[in-house]
Structure 1
């Protein structure tokens, strides 16, 4: 019995705060990873290493159509077996809208085994009626819908009132979460300035105007951005556009197992924990 106990890490080393594991069971602190082209071996390694701490994998922009179909199906199967939502990037749907091929796009992703879809208008204009219609159509097909707010052009900023209106309408139409655009760079776009730091005044305005702000996913590809948002909201904040190789280190930050968020942990008074 003694050796069996010693084979496992102490619970307060795995989760110093004593809260993170319970939070994950409640769906808090979701992590969305952006996959820009991992091969099968790399994807398998990623799932084996970080899969238990990731919730959504997005095949970045329009990369999904460039995969060998057998490889893509294998990746989708691995994701499904690991309870990961897999979705193509929102830009691919934007191309489908522009090309008048939305029905074909949705038929194809459903037949391949995608379980989610991202609806965005980062590079096109999408009116409210069409956006709502797309959300409802995707939900009716059994897809988990994540919408995205914001434009992809450098210097694009968040309009808190517009975000609040968009998020409310998207959730009412059936979207599960709304991602706030930051691209894969996180520089000079959305919430972040030209140095990649959070614009605190905009963040405060968003929190003052958006109901259910806990349903927002903040795209935060840079480590300092992840730390800033974790310190602002706590471990339960949803973060997106995380590089596959950073998913495990992000989970360590969520648990107070990294210097940036060391204060998340708390020492128990239980003598059994004084090891």
Structure 2
């Protein structure tokens, strides 16, 4: 029964309003149970850090996600490891063998020049859906807003379907201060200059998720979401939590 007035929420095969989970070793049996109930709330699944390379039965896990219409991809750290060891050709073959259709290009650990990343992307877009990540995992690395904007715009122009803003699975670097607070001025600047529907904001904590929902709206793209938080996140998006209680009223004010 639908009897409440809630914020308008994208559904089905969403182009925005995405929830991207991070899988840091969820056993297949447990994953099946979660997906059986909540797969309609999940769009993408990052097999976090480089864990895909050492995950038992990784092909079965990939196939399980795909069975539930969730798009799996490997964390950018695995790409960077392959880049560092000059194994990108082998990495492409590995992804094709697993049936993975999405690839993340990042420079969170290595300092890969922007133009080199763009060249790599140009060689991948005919074979994969490409997501690029901007920002460093080093909490002490400060990047001005102008560079964030330049990189995001140029990566999208190069053919990336989305750009992820680095936040780590801890929410303590990139778009966050060391203590987890959002760099709100940076986010405001990015959203003022770039279509936020093409950005996936890494937001691993409920507090960070609620910030983006309140600032950008219920259909903001959020990444690094823990699997066990998926249902509560959807409740937050629908104004069913105290901190997002008045979302539908804000939407009406904007119309």
- Give the TM-score of the pair, scaled to structure 1: 0.85
Deviation of the 1:74 alpha carbon: 1.3
Instruction: Select 1:203's aligned residue among 177, 182, 187.
Output: 187
**Corresponding residue for 1:257?**
240
Alpha-carbon offset, residue 249 of structure 1:
0.8
Q: Does the 8 A contact of 1:158 with 1:191 survive in 2?
A: no
Equivalent of 1:186, from 171, 176, 201?
171
Tell me, in whole angstroms, the C-alpha distance in 2 between the residues paired with 1:185 and 1:155. 15
The change in CA–CA distance for 1:133 and 1:67 in structure 2 (over 3 A counts) is: same
2:122 counterpart residue number: 136
Query: Does the aligned pair in 1 maintain the 2:203–2:223 contact within 8 Å?
Result: yes
1:19 alignment partner in structure 2: 8
Match of 2:144 in 1: 159
- How far apart are the structure 2 equivalents of 1:64 and 1:257? 35
Find the residue that maps to 1:20 and give its secondary structure: coil
CA contact (8 A) 1:34 1:241 kept: yes
Q: TM-score, normalised by structure 2?
A: 0.92
State the distance in 1 between where 2:104 and 2:202 align.
13
Alignment partner of 1:146 is 2:115: no
Residue equivalent to 1:53: 41
Q: 1:75 aligns with which of 53, 61, 72?
A: 61
Unaligned runs of 5+ residues in structure 1 are: 1-9, 267-275
Residue 110 of structure 2 is aligned to residue 124 of structure 1? yes
Shift of 1:64: 0.6
For these two proteins, the number of residue pairs brought into alignment is 249
Pick which of 75-84 and 103-112 moved more: 75-84
The residue that corresponds to 1:174 in the other structure is 159
More displaced 10-residue stretch of structure 1: 198-207 or 164-173: 198-207
Contact 1:158 1:202 in 2 (8 A): no
Shift of 1:55: 0.7
2:19 touches 2:43 (CA, 8 Å); kept in 1?
yes
List gaps (5 residues or longer) in structure 2.
250-255
Task: Classify the secondary structure of the residue corresponding to 1:169.
Answer: helix
Q: Which residue of 2 aligns with 1:62?
A: 50
Moved over 4 A (4+): none
